[in-house]
Amino acid sequence: MIELVETARKLDPRLIRAEKAALEAKNASKNAIADKKKAEKAAQMALLNASKNEEAAKKAAEKAADDAARELIKQEGRLLAGEFKVLIGLCDDKMPGSKAYDKYWVNGTCKTKVRKAIYAQMLVK
């Protein structure tokens, strides 16, 4: 009986077609699941890459803003250095008796207050 069934499976075209159709359906479902997983993974990778690119662009913009702020502070410092030299010169000319106090006041108090004001402005911007 088993031999008869095996012979029928091998030779009957209807059974052969049915087995092929079952095999193709099984492979199609496997391929569909694999394609779905690949598409989900690709979507996740695209989202991850987009977020990384967005973070990189944000960091680059922040770095550019920081660099611009630093350059502005340097320029302000150069400008103030010249102004303080003039102020020290004026103090030397007008108050020769209190030269040390005036230089201390210009170098210490004024510069510190001006620098704090500049940094405060930079932080606000």
Could you report the per-residue pLDDT of 36-87, keeping only the tens digit for each? 999 999 999 999 999 999 999 999 999 998 898 888 888 887 887 777 777 6
Helix H, strand E, coil C: the string for 19-73 is HHHHHHHHHHHHHHHHHHHHHHHHHHHHHHHHHHHHHHHHHHHHHHHHHHHHHHH
* Domains held by the chain: number: 1
Give the residue with greater pLDDT, 105 vs 2. Answer: 2
Give the residue with greater pLDDT, 97 vs 48. Answer: 48
Give the pLDDT of residue 103: 59
Q: What is the DSSP letter of 96?
A: G
Which 3 state secondary structure label does DSSP give 95? Answer: coil
Give the pLDDT of residue 89: 66
Q: How confident is the model at residue 122 (pLDDT cuts 50, 70, 90)?
A: low
Pair of tokens at residue 21: 């159709």
Q: How much is the mean pLDDT over the chain? A: 82
Q: Which domain holds residue 95?
A: 2-124
How many residues are listed for the chain in this entry? 125
